[in-house]
Amino acid sequence: MGCCTGRCTLIFLCTLQLLAALERQVFDFLGYQWAPILANFLHIIIVILGLFGTIQYRPRYIVVYAIWTAIWVTWNIFIICFYLEVGGLSKDSELLTFNISQHQSWWSENGPGCIRKEASMAGIKGLDSHSYISVIGCALEYQYIEVMHSSVQILVALVGFVYACYVVSVFTEEEDSFDFIGGFDPFPLYHVNEKPTNLLCKQTYLPA
């Protein structure tokens, strides 16, 4: 029962992580955040591997998933520090876009309550076709939305790590106990006491 409960819970957590990662991937694509896009893609692959290992009773796959959750927590802590500008980091830098573009988080212009205004810059030489975009009225700043996303990812990953370790330990104990009772022995113990067929026949047809 304990194995079933832990295994079912881990399957639920992996499914929840997949949904959260896909949701995050969509918004990172919209914001051209290339570093998070690559991290999310790798995260989705490892979570699918962990889900497969849980369903198919493959503890090695679950171990890989558990190791990745620790890395995933570290990555999301970095994202939180990046958007809160901790340790000299700046949310306005192009670090997450690999300096390819000047895009920021999609939530910076499309957050809850945000009103996007475009002001023409035709008066400036060389910028006739450009416009300045200002965002006002946001109910919640985009960096806090990103921090909440990362916090949810950390929380689910930590719970997933705990259950992954538990499920691996249960699977390992079951395999050890199965080996102990001869589950993988190609010559079961009852063959030792089994008498040859021809000897049994001789005993049957002995004269009275």
Is residue 103 within 8 A of residue 32, CB to CB? The reply is yes
Q: How far is CA 192 from CA 8, 87, 188, 189, 196, in A?
A: 41, 70, 8, 6, 11
DSSP reduced 3-state for 131: strand
CA angle (61 as vertex; 15, 184 as ends), nearest 5: 125
Rounded to 10 degrees, the C-alpha dihedral 110/116/119/120 comes to 60
pLDDT (tens digit per residue) in 138-188: 889 999 999 999 999 999 999 999 999 999 999 888 776 655 444 444 444
pLDDT (tens digit per residue) in 92-130: 888 898 878 778 899 988 888 888 777 665 555 444 445
Structure confidence at residue 114 (pLDDT) = 86
